[in-house]
Every structure is written in C-alpha cells, then in structure tokens.
Amino acid sequence: MQAIDNPAIAQMEQRYRATFINSLWGFRPLALIGTCNQEKRTNLAIFNSLVHIGANPPLFGLVVRPDSVDRHTLDNIRERKEFTVNLVGKDFVAQAHQTSARYPKDVSEFEATGLETEWKEGIDVPFVLKSSIQIHAKLVEEHSLAINGTEFLIAQVSTIYIHPSCIGADGFVDHLSAQTAAGIGLDAYYAPELIMRLPYAKPK
Amino acid sequence: MQAIDNPAIAQMEQRYRATFINSLWGFRPLALIGTCNQEKRTNLAIFNSLVHIGANPPLFGLVVRPDSVDRHTLDNIRERKEFTVNLVGKDFVAQAHQTSARYPKDVSEFEATGLETEWKEGIDVPFVLKSSIQIHAKLVEEHSLAINGTEFLIAQVSTIYIHPSCIGADGFVDHLSAQTAAGIGLDAYYAPELIMRLPYAKPK
C-alpha cells in the first residue's frame, strides 16, 4: 500500500487532484436536477452528491459548489424552493454527462443535450421524460460549510414517479429493473450487478 | 408511472417505508467507519451516506443518525476528532453488513464480525486490514439538521492508503481493480461494470 498524505495531495497538479479525490469514494448515485426560474427558463445539471437523510419524513441532501456550473441550479432552487430529481438510466449517460458542460445561463441543458422536458400537471419545475424514477422535491433547509463555502441543501420528497414493477413486495426499489446507472468521479459511468441481498443484521 | 405522494409515503408501514426511501436513490458508496474511544475500545460501522465535498482541501461529508447504532461511532468521532474510512470490497460485504447489527457498546464490531483490525504507526484509530482503500480522516465541522436531528459531519482527508496499481495516469481511482462494492438501501450489495468513461464536457 502506498501512503498519500495531505502535503502530497496539496502538491498534486490541480486536474489530477480533482480526478483523484472525486473518484476515491467509489460508486455514487447519479441524479439530473431539473430547475427553472420564475420565467420558466429551464436548467438541468448532473449531480453525484445526493445523500439519503431520512425516511420519515423522506429527506435527502445535495452538495452544491457555488463556484461551479451548479450555480444556475442553486439560483433556481433558491428562487423557486422546488426542483426535480431524475435518476440517470444506463441508456442516457452520455446525454446526462453533457449537462456538466459550462453552458451560458440562457441556454437550457434540456435543449442543448436533447433530453426531453416533461411538465406534470400542477408542478412548476421540469422533469426529464426519459428518466424511469422521477422525484418532485421541496427545499427545506440550507447549510453553508465554513471550510470551503459549499452549500448543503436539505430537501423533502414531495411526489415520487416510478413504475410499480420496479418496487418489490417489501418496498425495495429494483434499480437493475429500472436500468439505473452509477457514477465514479466526474466522468465514469457503471452498470452494477447484484452480489447479494442480506437479512437484517442481528448480533450473533 | 405511478405517482406516490407525501401522504401515501406517510401512510406506509414503517419498515416498508424505510426500505423504499433508503433504496430510492440508487447505488451508493460503502464505507466502514473505524473509531475508538480514549481507552482504545474500537468500533466499526457501515455507512452508505458518504459524500464528496471538495478536492482542495480534500473534504467529504458523512450523515449520522443520532438515534441509531451510528451513535457509538458519533460518540467516538466527537471524542477523538479522527476516524478511518475503509471502502468495502466485494469479498467482504457480508462481514461489512454484519457491523450494522445492534451490538452493545462494549462489543467491538471488529471482533464480532471477524474483520481484522490494522493499527498504523502514529495513528490512534483502527483501520480494516482487508480494505484495499483506507483513509485516515479528521473531523473539521459539524452541522445539526433542524428538520430531523441528523448530524452532518465534514471531515478532511489526512492520509490515503491505496495500491498504486489502482490509480490511473490521470489520477482516476480504478474501483474495478480495487474490487470495491456498491450498495443500495440497507441490505443490497452490487459489483458494477463499466459502461463508459467520457471526456470533459464542453458546450457543443
């Protein structure tokens, strides 16, 4: 094993370090965050920083870097207090990845990438039509991290749109059936296969 | 598509809802968090709530539920301000899963699950010997979420232990070579396969 310490990390070339640290943690969920401003100008951005917070009420967190292309997404979420989460399917990872390009604010990544918008009745933020698991969410809390100015947003699930065939008898969401992809770092996309599902662990 | 709204989620049977919402987000990283208290009593717990925060300095977040078995881990992290992150390999997912059992505080999950402890020179917290990617980390910030009392810990990478053969020329960590597993929900373990790696996205 090689030991790579803090000074060694600090001395890495910037892009090498970004690739290394971003890919260090392993497989991550991939979500396209759909937003719009008050004029219904839409925005779509890929995030791999979604994290489960709780089931009752159903809450999740989202890490947003204010200095990046995420900025348009953050502005829109703050303006509307609502957004959509659209899980990325294996068959559209290239289009999902393309949303990370630095498009100007007046360009919609829906149009630029060819991912079709879906508007649902009574909801004022756009979904990704192609996504087989879509979630309408509302912003409930925001934390600014003192150490690097990153924003941590907490949102509550409002409505989940999913094919009933993707939900098991015990509530387990079958992402193999939903064709959900996983990501590593900023550019690598994976299709997982099941190793095993285990019973509730008890001391033994 | 079926629409499952907030009242429907609230009415779900508790275990069904926990399984459903926990598994909704797709594939997540799996980390065994190694800690100990001042008396060197060790603790090991599996977490799937690790999230990348930044590369320079190298930071990550960890969601900790204060009402769960995570409590012993949280106490130890607060006491020592340092801990280890040990990525879960495909070949020990069953042992890693077993750390989620509700063992009493005086039982070490290292001993209970048979995952061997590794102590490194000059570091006072325990690593998982079997893990092919190990990280020594220090607590730098803590946020309490107003909405459900969850703690969001921010930690800085101190030293990374990894086989050089797992790092590509551009810094990309090859988790297929490291045999890293992915998780869904609280009990399902996956071995991903590469779909594709894409170039840095530019507007086109």
Domains and CATH numbers, chain A: 26-190 (2.30.110.10)
CA distance B128 to B31: 10
**Inter-chain touch A29–B30, beta carbons under 8 Å:** no
Interval B119-138: pLDDT, tens: 999 999 999 999 999 999 99
Positions of E strands within B65-150: 82-87, 117-118, 127-128, 133-144
Query: ipTM score of the complex?
Result: 0.95
CA distance A115 to A167: 25
Interval B50-106: pLDDT, tens: 999 999 999 999 999 876 667 889 999 999 999 999 999 999 999 999 999 989 888
**Inter-chain touch B154–A164, beta carbons under 8 Å:** no
Asked if the C-beta of A188 comes within 8 angstroms of chain B's C-beta atoms, the answer is yes
Q: pTM, whole model, 2 decimals?
A: 0.95
3-state SS string over B175-198? CCCCCECEEECCCEEEEEEEEEEC
CA distance A63 to A57: 20
**Inter-chain touch B180–A27, beta carbons under 8 Å:** yes
* Partner residue opposite A147 with nearest CB, options B6, B141, B189: B141
Considering only A122-131, B9-18, B101-110, which range has the smallest mean pLDDT?
B101-110
CA distance B86 to B93: 12
